[in-house]
Homo-oligomer: A and B are copies of this chain.
């Protein structure tokens, strides 16, 4: 009887779960919607429920389960399994590892979702064998992960790589974090949505109005992609604007890290990579020093939506010494 691993990508509104076999292949995968309003306060029940369902639905035997891994938003101490701080919730210093290991009697590993995503790309995806990698994941916000000198860098208190909160304009638009002009405020879906809404209010004609409908406060990547395919002027313009700022942030990070590779991932890049990558490679020349930019690979995530579950697998196989 082989060993199986269950790996989870825990978001605010959905959980992506995968069952890996002993050859590190996904043998079962499911995406489940969860109630957003409950947020991370319910993370423990959410994990338990999804793991139970994955065991049942995938047809694996419970005794085959060798370990569980997960990526989740927030500041997480991967060494202790403690959630130090989760965004928008007054919930601190909760040891989720103890709770899950007590329940399932197998080792449980958890890390920040973007950190875990870059770990996945480094071990199994676009960044294999690279020494220094900057990962930027564009979704609702912009998450970051860093591989430095051949290991995941998490800073002095597990909070490093908040790459979405580099300032790109000192007096720019307010970000959800309370700062102004953050990369995330321009390049994340919240920032893009704000720009679309403003332009519609200014009377710009756009297919996005109908495509977004009631979701005008939070863009769906599919709607933006569809509008771009229809050659909608505003859609093309707002995406290029977001990518310009993404390139500004990535350019600064290239000057700071002199990495082998910058990996772009997350839902927005996954949906519109064909539009984003050429524009990104053009704009970044304005922001990275030419001598450092030369030789830096600029690539799209190879694992796409699976980056975080693969990263969770990497935490398991790293820690168990495989």
Residues of B with C-beta under 8 A to A160: 256-258
- The A245-300 residues at the B interface (CB cut-off 8 A) are 245, 248, 251-253, 255-260, 286-287, 289-292, 295
Q: Min CB distance, A88 to chain B, in Å?
A: 13
The CA of A302 and the CA of B169, in the complex, are separated in Å by 32
Contact A252 B148, beta carbon cutoff 8 Å: no
Q: Min CB distance, A145 to chain B, in Å?
A: 11
A166 (CB) vs chain B CBs: closest residue: B252
Q: Tell me the number of copies of this protein.
A: 2
Residues of B with C-beta under 8 A to A167: 168, 248, 251-252, 287
> In the complex where A149-B148, A156-B260, A295-B157 touch, is A165 in contact with B75 (Cβ < 8 A)?
no
Contacting A149 at CB < 8 Å: which of B132, B153, B289?
A: B153
- The A131-158 residues at the B interface (CB cut-off 8 A) are 131-132, 144, 148-149, 151, 153-158
Contact B162 A153, beta carbon cutoff 8 Å: no
Residues of B with C-beta under 8 A to A85: 291
> In the complex where A148-B148, A170-B169, A248-B167 touch, is A157 in contact with B258 (Cβ < 8 A)?
yes
Q: Min CB distance, A17 to chain B, in Å?
A: 29
Contact B255 A162, beta carbon cutoff 8 Å: yes
Residues of B with C-beta under 8 A to A158: 258
Is A221 engaged at the interface, CB distance under 8 Å to the other chain? Answer: no
Contacting A289 at CB < 8 Å: which of B162, B170, B248?
A: B162
Residues of B with C-beta under 8 A to A286: 179-180
- The A15-73 residues at the B interface (CB cut-off 8 A) are none
Residues of B with C-beta under 8 A to A259: 155-156
Q: Min CB distance, A153 to chain B, in Å?
A: 6
A245 (CB) vs chain B CBs: closest residue: B170
Is A163 engaged at the interface, CB distance under 8 Å to the other chain? Answer: yes
Is A161 engaged at the interface, CB distance under 8 Å to the other chain? Answer: yes
Is A128 engaged at the interface, CB distance under 8 Å to the other chain? Answer: no
The CA of A52 and the CA of B215, in the complex, are separated in Å by 73
A interface with B by C-beta (< 8 Å)? 75, 85, 131-132, 144, 148-149, 151, 153-163, 165-170, 177-180, 244-245, 248, 251-253, 255-260, 286-287, 289-292, 295
**Smallest CB-CB A-B distances: 6 pairs:** A155-B258, A160-B258, A166-B252, A162-B255, A159-B258, A165-B255
